[in-house]
Structure 1
Amino acid sequence: MHLLQHWAVTALVAASCSLSSRDTWDYIVVGSGPGGLAMADRLSEAGHKVLLLEKGPPSSGRWGGTMKPQWLQNTNLTRFDVPGLCNQIWADRNGIACTDYDQLAGCILGGGVAINSALYWKPHPDDWNLSFPAGWKDADMKAAVDKVFTRLPGTTTPSQDGKIYLPQGFNTIGGGLKAAGWAEIDANKENGLRNRTYAKTAYYYIGGERGGPMATYLVTANARKNFAFWTNAGVKRVVRTGGKVTGVEVECGGSSGVVSLTGTGRVILSAGTFGSAKILWRSGIGTKDMLDVVKSSGDGSSMISSDQWINLPVGHNLYDHVGTDLEIAHPNVVGYDFYAAYNRPNQGDMNSYLNGRSGILAQSAPNFGPMFWEIIKGSDGINRHLHWQARVEGSRATSMTVTQYLGTGSVSRGRLTINNQLRTIVSQSPYLNNAQDKAAVVAGVQSLRDALGKVSGITWVRPTSSQTSEAFVNSIPANAGSRNSNHWIGTVKMGADDGRSGGTSVVDLNTKVYGTDNLFVVDASIFPGHVTSNPTAAILSVAEHAAVKILALPAAGAA
């Protein structure tokens, strides 16, 4: 059966928020990003009664989403299902992006995995070994990573005819790297070989569509009678007495109400680096300065009393990949107008996609490739990992933008705070506030310039040939407006050092919030440090590992 027909037959619709329900739940999972989807699946698989709550509307057509251009009207596909339309988030984010954060995040079923470019590859061993605590090192994570990639293998050829379309950009940069001595690898089979290596871009697309966690973890969870999920159901706070959580306060349809746990139930926050932190603050968990802000807001009258506040460093340890954009131009590079394809697609490309899930629209905009890596060892002895992503876009018709991401090994950190309008704010920039972090970025820029220096016909647009690599890096402001990668992590840090006693951590090694009996956080907010590149696979792996730990814990007991 053709995939389009398959979806039309098996289309599933997310349930709307139902505050009149008197059901109680063994687990309430808050947030439907990759962490929440994987957690909900594994917990319901274990036989528990699970409710998954999503703040935003449906996205994929599989789940009742309706946002789409005219040429998809007679299909069960939406803008989120077609890989070549993923850039539309930069043109129109109304009803999709969270409005209570000062950075872009998806408030929609799937969260980031509904709107991103679907880049997807196995973590490098250092991703776990350099910053994650005991029990979360590479050897500990292997079973979880293997589970993820068995469930969702990924692909480097999303077009269903097996071809890679418009590969000239890949050939130009890949050929230059190869000539400079860099080796080509398979990113998901040789994930430990990421130093002066490059690869074809890997995605979590399935059958020429976005697929990913929404077409795997959510599908199997939804088939179980002990699972339910609601969209347009924002969680205001967890309801607790001391450390015992009894439910969550949900806002939907202009009203609010409490959805309750069973006597031994648990809440899993998977609302993301901004969302999970915000829910904790509104629940009286965080540093006093932030809780005082919430108390003085419109939330104050219903906030838990100050004698039950839990003092933890929520919002600290904020980090994001440091993004540094370089631009080259080469006469062999061929661009494609993915933005125009939203409303005015090329007829042949549209037919190829609709009839066979093939062609350029089955590839992620704006035509990625290659991706490549280098490790820079700092004078402080720390290996800092640089991940590069090349894509065909820029100021010229033949341009490629090549973004360097500094992640694993970096030590710069910032802070997330909340204001009295209950909007989260990146109040302290996490970018390059350590000299060795900046030195690694500069060294990486110079290394790439050296590697591509002998490519015939190449023009350097940024940095210019007369600009030093150091001057170029220094010319880009170290703030979110200029260096943002939207790969935020760290605000609910996991570790053995209890933040109530002067430590830096908010959740323990089982992902349970310190000072609580039955409140857990499983998403990128608990990462102590960053991973090499796009964190989707790492979040799924963390959720798989956390599910095993949480399910093994004894119940906290009835209230």
Structure 2
Amino acid sequence: MLARSLLRALPLFGAAFKALAQTTSWTDPANTITFQAFTDPVHNVTYGAVFPPLSANSTEFIGEIVSPVANAWVGIALAGAMVDSLLLVAWPNGNSIVSSPRYATDYIQPTWYNGATLTTLPSSTVNATHWKWVFRCQNCTVWNGGSINLNSAPTWAWAVSTIPVDTPSSANSTFVEHTDFGFWGEIVAEAHASASDYATWASGGKVAPTSTTSVSSSTTSTSTSATATVTGTPYDYIIVGAGPGGIITADRLSQAGKKVLLLERGGPSTGETGGTYNAPWANGTKQLNRLYWIPTDQDFSTANGWPSAWTNHAPYTAALQARLPSTDHPSTDGKRYLEQSATVVAQLLAPQGYRNITINSSPDSKDHVYGNSAFDFINGKRGGPVATYLQTALARTNFVYKDYVYVSNVVRNGSTITGVKTNDTSLGPNGVIPLTKNGRVILSAGSYGSPRILFQSGIGPADMISVVEGNAAAAANLPPTSQYITLPVGENVSDNPSINLVFTHPSIDAYENWADVWSDPRPADAAQYLKDQSGVFAGASPKSEGITSRGRIGINAALTALPLVNPWFTDPVDKTTLITAINDLLTTVYTVPGLTLITPDNKTSIVDYVNNYDPGNLDSNHWVGSNSIGSVVDVNTKVIGTNNLLTIKFVVDASIIPALPTGNPHGTLMSAAEQAAAKILALAGGP
């Protein structure tokens, strides 16, 4: 029962990573302040910081942001993440700069943080092309839940938006999500000034500058000259997204001797990847969800939207099972724990003619059956591609994995793909990573991420490419309009509607609703799991249904992927079917001693309950279909319209699945990745 609410969404961006661009010493001639500074070459924003002497053990620093006016607001996250980090946000308002310290405990609008004091220094300016914010940040090296190590090189994060804040004159203004974000290594250990220089700068004065070293900038007139050019390493395959599809594909391609680069926007997840707690993370939602349904023949049938060449999924599903064995008793002692609910469910279903089976031993048996949930656990621990496929890939010298890399678009020359554009300038000039001759790009960024990248690459419906054209920074990376490729990217989206019924029964152990299972578990259960991975913690919680409704995924002005049309109950038959199923389920509820339905209550009919269910709670995060095979990608998962003899682009993630499978889609996705990798390798003209 770990998947429901145990893992708090706290991205771990706290340590410097080798792939990140690092700051260098740079003196702003306008104010003589010498910063450890970094310039993001994509948006041409310079970020700098200088601290008092290390011996002073101070809690403040002086910072500087220099930005083109195209960026309506710019922010810094001192912990390298939005959540539980001190955030500094600024924007121009007329001829002045408005700023505020912010804080967020979740991915919501950050609110004012009372612990820090920001003072805008006199050398701050606004002109026709740029705005510059020079500021003193007091009580800023320690905040709720975090701090800056003053003798280290922490990872800091930047965020920019081309969309103005709602009330520019107010430091408390709300604003929409950033247009882009990224990371850099701020070498705080080398950013300490003398006490006298720091005091002079903090008061708005100037000192005689010492030696200067440039930071890179291509257009910012107030910045300095460019640093040495970074040469990008070419790869046979660049795979964008380290979810289950991306990891499995990367492992199989590198196993075949191809030079493979796997890019992940998030960071480490489990211990195998260096993580302790994190989301977003390598392996995406698959690292959270250990429910494991072996796909049925129906799941890969032509009736379910698959080409006939995909219907023979058996050898690929077998290859998947060889790496990821299924179990319905994940504890190493062979026992099942917290089985009270299973006993009650059996009492509920048996009178209705349901048979108890081992789910994954009979994957095609789906009519009036039930069984213990099947999971992807190995030796009492969560398995999955990170624990298996990624580990074998990492052992190969021809495989490279980089996290915290945001891919904005593929680099195109007509229908030829020459590389990908990222936020990481250490991987290539201006963040561009090239392909080898005949190299290929594979998008595995998920049902939201892959469509966004296609839109930003000039591939998709005209209205979505038009949104990209309206964003100055993103529009600069689009190919000529004559090279746009019109495809139904983002259409045909489906997701399981999640309608919850709540029962009570005197035998059920709610296990404190799992509220403090990480921080304060029951001592005996924790000791048992740590000893041999057995007991209560060697389990997870299931949910699955099927639908025929369809929706649409697109992007907004901030280039954030989101549902444009929700996929739940657009076909009224789905709602009718669901209501019938719930009523069927409840026919025997009163035959189970002690079982009581409390949601909905006894005054609410099932029809009213479903009709009035909050649409915001329907999401099961089982999104598939936004790059459906047959309409966006062909039988080889190649994006339609990118066919040439040089480089082509593929999509291998849940977005290619044309319709929801019978069970949780993860098993179907991983089998599809096995098959896609084989088809890509067999396709002529590759590296």
Q: 2:331 aligns with which of 156, 159, 165?
A: 159
Q: Deviations over 1:123-159 (max 9, x none)?
A: 2222222323223554x11111111112111211121
Q: Distance in 2 between matches of 1:238 and 1:162?
A: 48
Cα distance 1:482–1:66, how it changes in 2: closer, same or farther (>3 A)?
A: closer
Q: For residue 441 of structure 1, what is the aligned residue in structure 2?
A: 578
5+ long unaligned stretches in structure 1: 1-12, 68-94, 97-106, 372-388, 390-404, 496-504
Q: For residue 377 of structure 1, what is the aligned residue in structure 2?
A: none
Q: CA deviation at 1:209?
A: 1.5
5+ long unaligned stretches in structure 2: 1-14, 22-229
Q: 2:262 aligns with which of 11, 30, 52?
A: 52
Q: Distance in 2 between matches of 1:470 and 1:136?
A: 42
Q: Does residue 490 in structure 1 map to residue 612 in structure 2?
A: no
Q: Distance in 1 between matches of 2:590 and 2:582?
A: 12
Q: For residue 521 of structure 2, what is the aligned residue in structure 1?
A: 345
Q: Is the 8 A contact 1:14 1:58 kept in 2?
A: no
Q: Distance in 2 between matches of 1:21 and 1:229?
A: 18
Q: Is the 8 A contact 2:600 2:606 kept in 1?
A: yes
Q: For residue 271 of structure 1, what is the aligned residue in structure 2?
A: 445
Cα distance 1:163–1:492, how it changes in 2: closer, same or farther (>3 A)?
A: same
Q: For residue 534 of structure 2, what is the aligned residue in structure 1?
A: 358
Q: CA deviation at 1:198?
A: 0.5
- % same residue: 39
Q: For residue 609 of structure 2, what is the aligned residue in structure 1?
A: 472
Cα distance 1:16–1:120, how it changes in 2: closer, same or farther (>3 A)?
A: farther
Q: Deviations over 1:443-475 (max 9, x none)?
A: 110111014331122111123344433232212
Q: For residue 500 of structure 1, what is the aligned residue in structure 2?
A: none
Q: Does residue 112 in structure 1 map to residue 288 in structure 2?
A: no
Greater helix percent: which structure?
Answer: 1
Q: For residue 89 of structure 1, what is the aligned residue in structure 2?
A: none
Q: For residue 428 of structure 1, what is the aligned residue in structure 2?
A: 565
Q: For residue 131 of structure 1, what is the aligned residue in structure 2?
A: 304
Q: For residue 247 of structure 2, what is the aligned residue in structure 1?
A: 37
Q: Distance in 1 between matches of 2:370 and 2:454?
A: 40
Cα distance 1:14–1:25, how it changes in 2: closer, same or farther (>3 A)?
A: farther
Q: Deviations over 1:80-99 (max 9, x none)?
A: xxxxxxxxxxxxxxx62xxx
Q: Distance in 1 between matches of 2:440 and 2:659?
A: 26
Q: Distance in 2 between matches of 1:341 and 1:460?
A: 26
Q: Match of 2:272, as an amino acid?
A: R
Q: Does residue 241 in structure 1 map to residue 241 in structure 2?
A: no
Q: For residue 461 of structure 1, what is the aligned residue in structure 2?
A: 598
Q: For residue 350 of structure 2, what is the aligned residue in structure 1?
A: 178
Moved more, 411-420 or 28-37: 411-420
Q: Secondary structure at the match of 1:362?
A: coil
Q: For residue 553 of structure 2, what is the aligned residue in structure 1?
A: 416
The residue correspondences of 1:137-536 to structure 2 (distance < 5 A) are 137-138=310-311, 140-252=312-424, 256-297=430-471, 298-337=473-512, 338-364=514-540, 368=541, 389=543, 405-407=544-546, 410-477=547-614, 479=615, 481-495=616-630, 505-517=631-643, 518-536=648-666
Q: Secondary structure at the match of 1:361?
A: coil
Q: CA deviation at 1:16?
A: 4.6
Cα distance 1:14–1:276, how it changes in 2: closer, same or farther (>3 A)?
A: farther
Q: Secondary structure at the match of 2:378?
A: coil
Q: CA deviation at 1:509?
A: 1.1
Q: CA deviation at 1:18?
A: 6.7
Q: Secondary structure at the match of 1:452?
A: helix
Q: CA deviation at 1:324?
A: 1.1
Q: Deviations over 1:320-368 (max 9, x none)?
A: 111111111111111103221221122212211111111212222xxx3
Q: Secondary structure at the match of 1:340?
A: coil
Q: CA deviation at 1:17?
A: 3.2
Q: Distance in 2 between matches of 1:512 and 1:128?
A: 18
Q: Secondary structure at the match of 1:299?
A: helix
Q: Secondary structure at the match of 1:341?
A: coil
The residue correspondences of 1:1-40 to structure 2 (distance < 5 A) are 16-17=18-19, 20=230, 22-40=232-250
Q: CA deviation at 1:305?
A: 2.1
Q: 1:65 aligns with which of 275, 294, 303?
A: 275
Cα distance 1:16–1:512, how it changes in 2: closer, same or farther (>3 A)?
A: farther
Q: Match of 2:658, as an amino acid?
A: P
Q: Is the 8 A contact 2:237 2:441 kept in 1?
A: yes
Q: Secondary structure at the match of 2:400?
A: strand
Q: For residue 680 of structure 2, what is the aligned residue in structure 1?
A: 550
TM-score of the two chains, using structure 1 as the length reference: 0.78
Cα distance 1:304–1:341, how it changes in 2: closer, same or farther (>3 A)?
A: same
Q: CA deviation at 1:23?
A: 2.0
Q: CA deviation at 1:196?
A: 1.2
Q: State the Cα RMSD in Å.
A: 2.0
Q: CA deviation at 1:45?
A: 1.0
Q: CA deviation at 1:528?
A: 1.0
Q: CA deviation at 1:22?
A: 3.3
Q: Secondary structure at the match of 1:214?
A: coil
Q: For residue 499 of structure 1, what is the aligned residue in structure 2?
A: none
Q: For residue 85 of structure 1, what is the aligned residue in structure 2?
A: none
Q: Distance in 2 between matches of 1:242 and 1:343?
A: 54
Q: Match of 1:424, as an amino acid?
A: A
Moved more, 520-529 or 332-341: 332-341
Q: For residue 539 of structure 1, what is the aligned residue in structure 2?
A: 669
Q: CA deviation at 1:318?
A: 1.4
Q: Deviations over 1:51-82 (max 9, x none)?
A: 11111111111121133xxxxxxxxxxxxxxx
Q: Is the 8 A contact 1:16 1:231 kept in 2?
A: no
Q: Distance in 2 between matches of 1:448 and 1:177?
A: 8
Cα distance 1:14–1:114, how it changes in 2: closer, same or farther (>3 A)?
A: farther
Cα distance 1:470–1:270, how it changes in 2: closer, same or farther (>3 A)?
A: same
Q: Secondary structure at the match of 1:275?
A: helix
Q: Is the 8 A contact 2:409 2:477 kept in 1?
A: no
Q: Match of 1:131, as an amino acid?
A: N
Q: Distance in 2 between matches of 1:234 and 1:132?
A: 31
Q: Secondary structure at the match of 2:361?
A: coil
Q: For residue 10 of structure 1, what is the aligned residue in structure 2?
A: none
Q: CA deviation at 1:287?
A: 1.0
